[in-house]
Chain A
């Protein structure tokens, strides 16, 4: 079942990337899908490592929409700093606790911090991330705590 799903996904992806629908080209596509499946099965025998996607699909889309707005706001804020005459920066390295249970959730949170200009996740430690801000504001901690709660809410099995 999982195998058939992977094969279908790979073939659809291949069709979208190629855009050519001659029988010979389609045959090459099918052959490469089979080859990819054989290779992944053999590699599974070496390490059965899998990443679980424990995300609520709708909740994640909602989060992405919210993130886009945040990215736009943060971009504008850093653009103003760069174009300002005095180049007012207030650099600060600080700890931001995270509450995600899964690796994927933590990656999404850390990448979201970096995606919004003005803040970069620098180091991951057992309970918190180290975040660097170029123009640190006292509200930043609260804003990042809000983002943390939103990412955690998209995790499946999280307290709803």
Chain B
């Protein structure tokens, strides 16, 4: 194994393992939080850090190949659809009358209409 190969393996595994760490932290957060709104935030860790780091790690593994191009296309797609889906879920909850529990001393803004 040459130095460059070893470097590539190291970098990609660091990226994939840290992506896995954030994915697990997101799942752990969904389990620990007790209400809907907080759980959404835990899920978005898996969505952003977990997804980006794992994709980057897989790109480094694949090197300059068509697989990397496809991974980047998938990554861009998830980067746009992930928050859009989160917004849709949160918006549906708000519209159907669910309000987040406000922290003591704070009052939430009521939606218009």
Task: Please give the residue numbers on chain A whose beta carbons come within 8 Å of chain B beta carbons, in ascending order.
Answer: 16-17, 19, 68, 71-72, 75, 78-79, 81-83, 87, 89-95, 110-112, 114-118, 120-123, 125-126, 130, 132, 134, 136
Contacts and interface: CB of A to CB of B under 8 A. Distances in A.
16 contacts: A71-B48, A75-B48, A78-B29, A82-B42, A87-B32, A93-B102, A93-B108, A94-B108, A94-B109, A111-B87, A115-B44, A121-B83, A125-B111, A125-B112, A130-B111, A132-B40
A122 B94 contact: yes
B interface bracket (residues with beta carbon within 8 Å of A)? 35 or more
Contacts, number: 117
A79, A92, A122, A134 interface centre (most CB from chain B within 10 Å): A122
A117 B79 contact: no
A78 B41 contact: yes
A72 B69 CA distance: 23
B86 A71 contact: no
Contacts of B38: 89, 91, 134
